[in-house]
Amino acid sequence: MLSESKSQDQAQPAMSEAPATDSAFSLEQKQYLEGFFAGVRQRMPFVGHTATGLITADAASGVENIAAPATFHGTPVEDLCREELWKYERNPLDAWDELLAHANEDKAPNPEHTYRFKFHGLFYVAPAQDSFMLRMRVPGAILTAAQMRGLAEMAEDWGSGRCDLTTRANLQIREFQPKNIVRVLNKVQSLGMSSRGSGCDNIRNITASPLTGIDPAELLDVRAYAEGLNQYILNSRDMYGLPRKFNVAFDNGGALSVVADTNDIGFLAVRVPEGRSLPAGVYFRVVLCGITGHRQFAADCGVILKPHEAVAVAAAMIRVFAENGNRTDRKKARLKYLVDEWGVEKFLAETEKLLAFPLMRLAAEDCAPRGAIDRAGHIGVHAQAQPGLSYIGVSVPVGRLPVAQMRVAADVAERFGSGEIRLTVWQNLIVPNIADANLGAARAALVEAGLKIEAGAVLSGTVACTGNRGCKFAQTDTKTHAVALANLLDERFPAMTQPVNLHVTGCPNSCAQHYIGDIGLMGVKVGGEEGYNVNLGGGSDQDQGLARELIAAIKFVDLPPVIERLFGAFAQKKLSEDETFLAFARRHSIEDLRGFAQVEGKR
């Protein structure tokens, strides 16, 4: 699948690292020096300007000390890492003149401009590709047929001839030359869309359950909340330039997952039954600090919200992070590290200071259990909540969608549906609101264009990051390997009907979240060849758990027979036809699984 290319943001050098001589200081010496310099700052003379224009030396006056060293979000400028210093010097949103200059001269950006242009959704991805990649914002994973058609035109005229669907239910288009980047941004705006803040140290695409509003099992239609937060961000300059990237998801409590527990903030629709301390009804629970690349899921923080409060609470929490997150060490700049330092209660207390209403608390066990998740619900034909209407989930292996198929998807949505297309975190698309009488014609049009509405148990759950064809950090050709392995397994084990999630990522940044796959592969080099670190038994939502390492490193050419032997053992030893591969992997020890696969842990 195509991920959101997180690696390009995460791997920016941390310029705040201590010099080599710092290692000679003991902990006590470091603490003394920190205290010494803090004391120096406190002894700085105070000079401020009162409201009447007088100059005061009174530190208790409450005005700004103009004689104090400059700070940026409370951090001394001298301590800022490179990227934060760039933000301090000038807001990256104000880069239009530089964008025009690069387009006019058709020139590649230097490191500073590479960073600044990401705030506009443009990623210079050399050396993997000597060109720009555009990442969109598709709030709530919903776009129109006209927008899809316009993006196809852009990809055909100036880009790679395809788009890539991502793990944040989003779109990316590659291979734009510098001379076209202003045309690209103007085209995006003409489509009523935006790419602003879709990468770098900003709030990424706001995701929502892809079936929201049409799911028979949902508790709450969350479209308005995703769109509302997106608009709030677009209208608030101070919601950009965070210490690090930030992910937010809204889960409708229905049948199709949005993997909210992998986000910095997840709003989960829940039902509170009668007899609790709150009136019965549907609310949002809040989970915090998901960052599975760092082996952590978002955890329930005890807060429950009336639905209309969610966007305000998100805005407050993000602002607390913006003002207090680490701006000196990019490796410690995600929300997780602020909450680790403060504790959840302090973070919530600081959030409440920005709100005009209190945060309600309710134990998670006082909410009704979440309904079941259909791991195959994103592929195929399924009935909607609206009588007489269905949606078609279209298989798009690892998210690669050529312009011809983009246009067909738009045409089908317009001719047989409501003109709407939805994306999923599984790198595929959904065409909703098709009258049952038109399902046959809609299916035929999709199939004629080479789009499948059925997929094998493995391919339907396969996702992959960009890989080394488009990302300089990836060690392997993830997309090619993922499709090849999935197709092989589906061909050899056609009787397997329970979905198997295969997550293939190219480097430790884990854009494809290999730790939450039934099978998780992370790219490594093995004897100079492309290979993988192999993990088993990961899951999210009700199957939440981190995968365990099966093989430290194995060449990809040697991997398919290993997984085949593992699947063969599963076919022979599963407890019933209903047992999933995930359950099988979890009920066996790693030693047993290695025995089934006939491998050792270290290779």
CATH label of the domain that carries residue 497: 3.30.413.10
Residue 1 inside a domain? The answer is no
HSE-CB of 497 using CA atoms within 13 angstroms: 5
Model confidence over 225-254: pLDDT tens digits? Answer: 999 999 999 999 999 999 999 999 999 999
**Of residues 3 and 25, which shows the higher confidence score?**
25
Give the pLDDT score at 132: 98
Do 442 and 312 share a structural domain? Answer: no
Q: What residue type is assigned to position 59 of the chain?
A: A
Do 180 and 224 share a structural domain? Answer: no
Residue 354 inside a domain? The answer is yes
Residue 209 inside a domain? The answer is no
**Of residues 1 and 435, which shows the higher confidence score?**
435
Residue 20 scores a pLDDT above 70: no
User: How far are the Cα atoms of 5, 394, 573, 576, 579 from residue 496, in angstroms, in the given order?
Assistant: 32, 20, 13, 12, 10
Total domains in the chain come to 5
Model confidence over 84-126: pLDDT tens digits? Answer: 999 999 999 999 999 999 999 999 999 999 999 999 999 999 9
Domain boundary among 448, 476, 493: 448
Mean pLDDT of the chain: 93
Do 591 and 478 share a structural domain? Answer: yes
Residue 202 inside a domain? The answer is no
User: How far are the Cα atoms of 76, 489, 514, 524 from residue 505, in angstroms, in the given order?
Assistant: 37, 19, 6, 10
Residue 453 inside a domain? The answer is no
Do 476 and 409 share a structural domain? Answer: no
Residue 323 inside a domain? The answer is yes
Residue 212 inside a domain? The answer is no
Do 237 and 349 share a structural domain? Answer: yes
Do 584 and 538 share a structural domain? Answer: yes
Q: What residue type is assigned to position 472 of the chain?
A: K
Q: Which residues contact 75 (CB under 8 A, 6 or more apart)?
A: 84, 327, 328
Residue 305's Cα: distance from chain center in Å?
Answer: 23
Q: Which two tokens stand for residue 274?
A: 């009668």
Residue 198 inside a domain? The answer is no
Do 552 and 414 share a structural domain? Answer: no
- pLDDT bracket for residue 37 (50, 70, 90): low
Arithmetic mean of pLDDT, 385-395:
98
Least confident of 55-59, 459-463, 568-572: 55-59
Nearest to 1 by CA among 461, 351, 528, 485: 461
Residue 416 is part of a domain; what is its CATH number?
A: 3.30.70.3340
Residue 170 is part of a domain; what is its CATH number?
A: 3.90.480.20
Nearest to 315 by CA among 219, 238, 419: 238
pTM of the model: 0.90
Do 468 and 426 share a structural domain? Answer: no
Model confidence over 305-361: pLDDT tens digits? Answer: 999 999 999 999 999 999 999 999 999 999 999 999 999 999 999 999 999 999 999
Residue 433 scores a pLDDT above 70: yes
516 DSSP 8-state letter: G
Do 223 and 280 share a structural domain? Answer: yes
Q: Which residues contact 553 (CB under 8 A, 6 or more apart)?
A: 524, 526, 531, 532, 533, 602, 603
- pLDDT bracket for residue 13 (50, 70, 90): very low
Domain boundary among 403, 419, 448: 448
Cα–Cα distance, 541 to 523 (Å, whole number): 25
Nearest to 552 by CA among 531, 537, 570, 538: 531
Residue 64 scores a pLDDT above 80: yes
Do 441 and 480 share a structural domain? Answer: no
Give the pLDDT score at 601: 64
Domain boundary among 341, 366, 391: 366
- pLDDT bracket for residue 69 (50, 70, 90): confident
Do 223 and 362 share a structural domain? Answer: yes
Q: Which domain holds residue 129?
A: 6-11+92-190
3-state secondary structure of 151: helix
Do 100 and 29 share a structural domain? Answer: no
